[in-house]
Amino acid sequence: MTLQRELSRSQVCGMMREELCQGKDFLQSDTHIFIIMGASGDLAKKKIYPTIWWLFRDGLLPDDTYVVGYARSQLTVADIRKQSQPYFKVEPDEQKKLEEFFARNSYVSGTYDDSTSFRRLNAHLDALHNGDKANRLFYLALPPSVYEHVTRNIKECCMGHGGWNRIIVEKPFGKDLESSNKLSNHIASLFREDQIYRIDHYLGKEMVQNLMVLRFGNRIFGPVWNRDNVACIILTFKEPFGTEGRGGYFDEFGIIRDVMQNHLLQMLCLVAMEKPASTDSDDVRDEKVKVLKCISELQLGNVVLGQYVGNPDGVGEARKSYLDDPTVPTGSNTATFATAVLYVDNERWDGVPFVLRCGKALNERKAEVRLQFRDVPGDIFQRQCKRNELVIRVQPNEAVYTKMMTKKPGMFFDPEETELDLTYGNRYKDVKLPDAYERLILDVFCGNQMHFVRSDELREAWRIFTPLLHKMESERIKPIPYCYGSRGPPAADELMKRVGFQYEGTYRWVNPHKL
């Protein structure tokens, strides 16, 4: 944000807080308590504690907010501070504010399956200022294996009675349709849907949230956003590194569960959905569910699976294969790369392929949405015109750009490919884009569920992928090897070409911020 000279930082942040919450129940109680279940874990120290600090520093939290950590480890607030502060990004002039933040922190040790521990936690919460009347927000930074015990104990022992109670659930939300339904049914037996916030951090990213504004805030896109004009849509998530010693966790889920079934499918919904009646949370999520209901179960013939192998010309980790990771089971068939083609069988998108691509140990870091439009009809330029594309780059270097044809400058009358470019680093030089977790945790304080996954949305997403996942595992389908640092298996490019994507390879967008 660019701060106006005549306003203090705290005044600007206060105005932002009120605008973001739009009159919701953000300030109805004087006291808010943010409880981090699993406070000793990696997620808590690397993401949750830093995020709460950033919100506190910028004045975006309610004035009387307390942070309480809970885990099995015997820790103190000083221990929590030591393990999490390297991720805090603290400026020299913010040290006093940091001391204020940790003065509002406390920690309780206890087990996850013992109600006595949770009654002790509740007594600690009640003992805080207005604690028995406070709004309580429980963040489950925990493995799903303990969700049932923890949520039951929260419901029975730790619910506040003077304010609201909300619970944030981290993915993975199950491993397939059956396990997801079991988890959803369990949580639904304890909490109302408006108390449950299933967090997918991709829905908090700037450019993912921008999709709705681009689509529904601009007249120019409406008439062309359909099967008559769009040839195909590519949704991409690429990472240039492998598992690097963390393969034990990854191997349990694989790339489809880790990225495709959640992050990419959520972006697909935002691209494909109809205009909601309003920006109300349920109006938006209703339209996303309609999209998912129009997608048939994914078939193996529309999928390419890959697993990276070492690059003999690489350096360090690039020379290692997925199976060289000592935490990966010997002979694992877990895919580290997948390309899948889905179809949304409705009037707007009938026949248009939605290609989802994701993988580790690839040639670059990139997440984007790419709409490729159909060929120019009646081309008078002897096939020199390339297809137009609209690209929404989610990360890195957030940007929106359109590939288009213009006349080559000078004494020529030949078409040349160029772009109309909105690169955020150029257009918004002084703007700090919030971290996805900052947006989403603030949304929970505000009671805004728009960017969280609803139970029926989750159920439809698993319906699409579960048959494929079961087939892969029961038949032990072996992924195609691909070299560390490559684009992935060539078969994936062949699949994209087969469904209608045209890759010219003659043009590459260059981030102008780096020129």
What angle, rounded to 10 degrees, do the helices at 265-272 and 455-474 form?
A: 130
Rounded distance, CA 157 to CA 68, Å? 16
For residue 82, give Cα distances in angstroms to 47, 88, 194, 448.
14, 11, 35, 32
Task: Report residue 230 as tokens.
Answer: 């769009």
- Which residues lie across from 357 on neighbouring strands? 236, 339
Residue 411 CB neighbour total at 10 angstroms: 5
Rounded distance, CA 268 to CA 272, Å? 6
Name the one residue in this structure whose structure tokens are 């139970």: 455
Quote the Cα angle for 7-12-17, to 5°: 160
The answer to whether residues 175 and 181 touch, using CB atoms and an 8 Å cutoff, is no
Of 165, 167, 122, residue with least CA distance to 148: 167
Please count the residues of the chain.
Answer: 515
Of 402, 391, 397, residue with least CA distance to 427: 397
Query: Any residues with CB less than 8 A from the CB of 207 and at least 6 apart, and which?
Result: 392, 393, 394, 395, 398, 399, 400
**Phi (first) and psi of residue 455, to 5 degrees:** -60, -40
Rounded distance, CA 39 to CA 25, Å? 26
The answer to whether residues 445 and 276 touch, using CB atoms and an 8 Å cutoff, is no
Of 83, 45, 69, residue with least CA distance to 138: 69
Q: Which helix (H) or strand (E) holds 215?
A: helix 206-216
Exposure string of 247-263, with b = 16+ CB inside 10 Å and e = fewer, is beebbebbbbbbbbbbb
Strands 196-199 and 105-109: unpaired
Rounded distance, CA 298 to CA 291, Å? 15
Of 163, 39, 166, 59, residue with least CA distance to 105: 39
Is there a catalytic annotation at residue 451? no
Rounded distance, CA 361 to CA 166, Å? 37
Name the one residue in this structure whose structure tokens are 């009938």: 350
Task: Report residue 349 as tokens.
Answer: 């998108």
Radius of gyration over every alpha carbon of the chain, rounded to an integer in angstroms: 24
Name the one residue in this structure whose structure tokens are 């009654």: 119
End-to-end CA distance of the chain: 24
Catalytic residue among 124, 201, 263, 451: 263
Q: Which residues are catalytic?
A: 263
